[in-house]
Structure 1
Amino acid sequence: MSAFLLGIGFRADMGTCARKLVLLKLIDACEDDGSRIFPAISTIARAAQCSTRQVQRELKAFLDIGLIRLVREGGKGPRSTNEYALDLDVLQLLGKGGWSLVAGDRAENKGDTVSPFESEEKGDTGDAPRVTPETDKGDKLSHPTPPDPSLDPSVERERERDRDEQKTVERWLKRVHPTWPTFIADSGKTAFAAAMALTPAEREMAADRMADYLAAEKLTKGRCAFGVYLSEKRWERLGPKPEAPEKPSYAPAFGPVWAAIRMRDLVTGPKAQPSPLKGWEERAIAEGTLNRDALERGNRMRTGWPMVNGLHLAAETRGLGIHSFGPEEERLGKLCEFVPVDTECWEAWKLEHQLRGWPWLPDPGTMRGVYFPVGGPGGLEAFEQAVRGQHDAGGREAAE
């Protein structure tokens, strides 16, 4: 694009908006010397916001006055376009004097037409009396059509809105009415008139409460036509619609709430004493093939935190999280942060689990990390205080 030529194009009075926009698009596609212009007709039409036929007429007009010249004719394929070049002298004249100076007395070609008139006489040539006095402008042989009140734009717009409303109601009835028990015996005209008298919001409410009304009808053994249901707005007799039950909450595995529930169970201590070592384990320890501390630590991990081990198993085998939790767990989840796998913080948490004898996490699979309390192992004290605060609040509520 040439900024210098674009400035001339903006100053040029081209006579019509479409012609001006076509010129600006050609300048946008050319070099500083006005050469190498080969955008597709459809591309120019999109930029100028006009039809492809309009672009073709404007390009022909530009060729006629010498504003552009054909450098190379394109082929017949969809991607083969003509190449043009701007005549900078003609462009300068347009910038100074506008289209009328350059085009002179050439006939204007405005609007989208299928084909131009070839005869010199245009318009109506009948001998009907003129409605308005003849002026020096326009076609002297034509007479304007007398105004028709039915063509008043405001009236036509109102009629169009009415037709659209009728179509909307017809589609609504086709969707809703067939589900009414008395549909076959109902009067379609009555139902349509009743639906037309409703506002869109009332029609939406009528359809939404229809099932509730029919369920109540079964109890009272009452039944009415659909038109009566609409005209009397019988859904209003039902009172306010009951609120839908809340969807059960779900915490995905390794997420913040899942991690908060897991860590809460760990920091509150083991839930059961470890089982004693078995006879074969004692013999293996005596023989030196097994380590007592390792066996006891494994027993404590398995029996001390059954809920945590259940979370690990569900996450590892089926990718399941926790299907129900409350606001307390949600608040604890906000105290957790994302810790990427194999980072320094990740290794610190693994070491903390070993030191405290806690069961470590299963393989998170494709997860890039897991949530832990904010601040690493050093932040566990703040997390434990939050857990104890919840427990204390729960105990006080129970006592009260």
Structure 2
Amino acid sequence: MSHKATNWAVEQRGLKPATKVVLWHLADRHNREFGCFPSQALLAHDCEMSRASLNNHLKLLEERGLIRRIQSRNSRTFKQENTRYLLAFEDGFTPQKHDDDKRDAGPLPCPETGHGNDAEPVSKNDEKPCPKNDDSRVQNLDTNPVREPVTQPGNAQARGERDFEARSSKKVEKLFWKLVKDWPQLHGMPKQRARSVFEQLSAEEQDQAIAKREVWLKLLKSQGKDHVPAPTTYLSQKLWKDIPADFDLAGEQAAQRVAAPFGKMWGAIRFADLMREPYGPAPRFTSAEERMVADGIYQPAELMRQKLVSCGWPRVNTLHERAIRKKHGTTEDPALAPLADLFGQVGKGSELWSAWKGLHAERGWPWFGEDRDCPDWVWLPDSPCEADTYDSASDAVRAAMARFENQHASISERQAAE
């Protein structure tokens, strides 16, 4: 949290209350060293609104020149990463230019009929008025005539819209309860929020959510996941779309293999993730930590470095937890097979083990956990030559890491070219 950011957000005037709530929470998530990049799910939860509403307010803030959104994709997986939000008070901030900015656009029509223009503020009635609203260009919701619905649609499109409206009013509730019936770990939990999200989906998406529910649950089981996301998360993030194309109705994924915990492939997946810059949610200082920094007990950079160990690489921390607490591995990645061939066994408590632990601390990487929880032998990158030919175990570890990094860079370049 940055007090400078939140104070700046509070000082902004002329915003709608909900829009200002979004701005304040963005500022609350801002870190003066690492910036602001909360996920949309987290930001929507903070603001207590749907992601659709959140995006509307973010657009308004960007049009006002108060924020700028920067999107990026992972260089290896090409998946979209969390959006970076630049706030107007930050050094070097430049507002995003919009082609549809009203300040640069021509006259706009009356919002009700499409006639007249709206180039000046609507409180000024000296411009050419809307022909159907007489002397005012502002639609009058209290006096607009009632428009009777068409009882006999004249074309197939109109009949389709009428059928959809009938479904929305009569079948949505039935379909929703069909979806959440027997949902794992949901007994006794409130469902109103999930129902609201379900109602916002299109008819096609509602059908897909119901039809693919069982396949999605089997996918989670095949991945060794014990926790099942709530219906609200399933619907709002449209998780059924994450089902791989080669995952059949029997719940078996073609050619899927599981990498054993602490093994070669498991280690290759782990180190490949550590090659990335920290990508987890930006850590925030607690009130107590802020006081200790202010009192000079901690240096901000060092404290932030310690916190990044626990949240900088979420996938690695998940691998550790599943391997140690549940003895579960992870799905193999065939593309990383060449990296797995570079691994050798390292005995727990040996000089090499201590050297690897030291390298992790030096680079700010998370370690496996307590030695007592680890197996006697763990697969780690092997050095090009025998370990005893190096001056020290640390030199052998650095040589092993250099070879792994070179091979990983070659694989990444080849994947990018493809």
Q: What TM-score bracket applies, with the shorter chain setting the length?
A: 0.3 to 0.5
TM-score (norm 2): 0.34
**Which has the larger share of helix?**
1
Q: Which has the larger radius of gyration?
A: 1
